[in-house]
Amino acid sequence: MQNQVETVIQVKNVKKIYRMGTEKIFAVDDVSFDILKGEFCCLLGTSGSGKSTLLNLMAGIEKLSAGQIIIKGKKIHRMNESSLARFRQRYLGFVFQSYNLINSMTALENVEFPLVFKRVKAKKRKSMAKDVLTKVGLENRMAHKPKEMSGGQQQRVGIARAFVAKPEIVFADEPTGNLDTKTTMEVMGLIRNIAKENNQTIVMVTHDKRLAEFADKIIHILDGKIQNIEIRRDVSKSENEVLEQNSEGMDSKPDISPDTESSINSKSDTETKNNAESKSNKEAISNTEGNEETKSDTDSKSNTTAKSSKTAKSSKGAKSSSGRKNSVDTKSNVDIKRSKDTGSKIDKKDNTDTELDIKINLDDIFDMNEKIVYPEKVDTETPLTEDNTGPMSDIASTKE
């Protein structure tokens, strides 16, 4: 049974048309999809595919030509600039590729800035800003200005600023486009972990398929149209339902890239080979010990037989009934002693086999977690411009 999960974003038959003279360019062409609460959604496409234009339409930065965009039950395409500013302030957060930090402010002040518009008291907003900067690993950089920090550190400040007010929805436009591979992985991990902790919805634009692997849903876009929608994890299912599916053999294979899967398989083969060699060596040692025990038993039996023959020979010819009785008693005692020794050695061998089996089973367990290596950045797409519609990003940021 599926849980009732709120649909926070609805995009219905959305179009964005730019005019260049007499020619019409469809940047977004009749696009429709839904995004659930707590879902990490990725808009994936090449440069010029229309993914950034679609993100700007969803954030109210650009005006659509046709269709509807409904966020939290509000038709944002019908809002004026003042209403949009209040709506963004209440529900939305933004992570930009170019950081968009205020150079005259410290990291702490940049993160505090959105809370000023929410009229949070100075003491509380300073505490909130410090907490989120600590989460992103910048507890020692709070007093530094943007020009005194690296690109990765500036992007961490941008992430802290986007999440400090705990918005329900965060829009991220190529958030790792200006970062190296190692920092890209760290930043993506921060975004995913913070959003998961607070059950926030993420809408991210990227051209990189490997970065898209962080998402629960991937919407593939080409030439302004949706090619297909890939569901990697269904957020409407509870953890118990996921566990039940895994126990039945469904969805038990993790979503990983082919390179990572090849590396895991290679590790599995190596582990299996090592376990087999270890098991073979242990069996050889066990067989050697068994041969030594058998040899020891044979020597003991020979000595016992010789001793018994000697006793019988010494008592041969004795005509008293007590002599025959002593010979029978001696033989009985020897048989009893041999039986006890043999039983003890059999039990010891069985225990050794049991211990070997347990150790072999434990050796078969290995860690399948692998790190995903991300490629170097590529040029980001250049958004199209419209003759009769100027850029609205500056207006939106000013009103906020």
Percent of the residues in the chain that have a pLDDT greater than 90, as a whole number: 50
User: How many CB atoms neighbour CB 381 within 10 A?
Assistant: 19
Residues 234 and 275 in one domain: no
Residues 160 and 206 in one domain: yes
Asked whether residue 316 is domain-assigned, the answer is no
Residues 340 and 292 in one domain: yes
Asked whether residue 311 is domain-assigned, the answer is no
pLDDT of residue 253: 41
Residues 182 and 278 in one domain: no
CA–CA separation, 194 and 37 (whole Å): 15
Residues 84 and 174 in one domain: yes
Residue owning tokens 């940049």: 110
Asked whether residue 154 is domain-assigned, the answer is yes
Q: How do residues 27-62 score in pLDDT, each as one tens digit?
A: 999 999 999 999 999 999 999 999 999 999 999 999
Element (H, E) at 43: strand 40-44
Residues 90 and 179 in one domain: yes
Q: Residue ranges of the alpha helices (H) in the chain? A: 51-58, 81-91, 107-117, 122-135, 151-163, 181-198, 209-212, 239-247, 258-315, 321-363, 393-399
| Best CA proximity match to 169, nearest among 13, 35, 61 | 35
pLDDT of residue 374: 46
Q: How confident is the model at residue 3 (pLDDT cuts 50, 70, 90)?
A: low
Q: How confident is the model at residue 283 (pLDDT cuts 50, 70, 90)?
A: low
Cβ atoms of 263 and 369 closer than 8 Å:
no
User: How many CB atoms neighbour CB 255 within 10 A?
Assistant: 12
CATH number at residue 27: 3.40.50.300
| Best CA proximity match to 142, nearest among 108, 101, 102, 104 | 108
| Best CA proximity match to 274, nearest among 365, 193, 388, 347 | 365
Residues 327 and 390 in one domain: no
User: How many CB atoms neighbour CB 386 within 10 A?
Assistant: 17
DSSP letters for 141-191: -TT--GGGS-HHHHHHHHHHHHHTT--SEEEEESTTTTS-HHHHHHHHHHH
Angle in degrees, 0-180, between the axes of helices 107-117 and 151-163, rounded to the nearest 10: 20
Residues 147 and 282 in one domain: no
Residue 348 has pLDDT above 60, yes or no: no
Asked whether residue 36 is domain-assigned, the answer is yes
Q: What is the mean pLDDT of residues 213-235?
A: 94
What domain range is 177 assigned to? 7-257+377-399
CA–CA separation, 115 and 161 (whole Å): 9
Residues 107 and 199 in one domain: yes
Asked whether residue 287 is domain-assigned, the answer is yes
Q: How confident is the model at residue 277 (pLDDT cuts 50, 70, 90)?
A: low
Residues 29 and 111 in one domain: yes
What are φ and ψ of residue 128, in 5° steps? Answer: -65, -40
Cβ atoms of 282 and 316 closer than 8 Å:
no
Residues 140 and 272 in one domain: no
Q: How do residues 356-384 score in pLDDT, each as one tens digit?
A: 444 444 444 444 444 444 444 444 444 44
Vertex 310: Cα angle to 309 and 313 (nearest 5):
85
Asked whether residue 307 is domain-assigned, the answer is no
As for how many domains the chain has, the answer is: 2
Q: How do residues 151-204 score in pLDDT, each as one tens digit?
A: 999 999 999 999 999 999 999 999 988 888 899 999 999 999 999 999 999 999
Residues 91 and 202 in one domain: yes
Tokens matching residue 302: 């020979």
Q: Which residues contact 157 (CB under 8 A, 6 or more apart)?
A: 99, 101, 107, 110, 111, 133, 136, 138, 146, 149
pLDDT of residue 4: 74
pLDDT of residue 129: 95
CA–CA separation, 111 and 163 (whole Å): 9
- Burial code (b: 16+ CB inside 10 Å, e: under 16) for 125-138 equals bbebbbebbebbeb
pTM of the model: 0.60
Asked whether residue 29 is domain-assigned, the answer is yes
Asked whether residue 308 is domain-assigned, the answer is no
Residue 394 has pLDDT above 50, yes or no: no
pLDDT of residue 236: 76
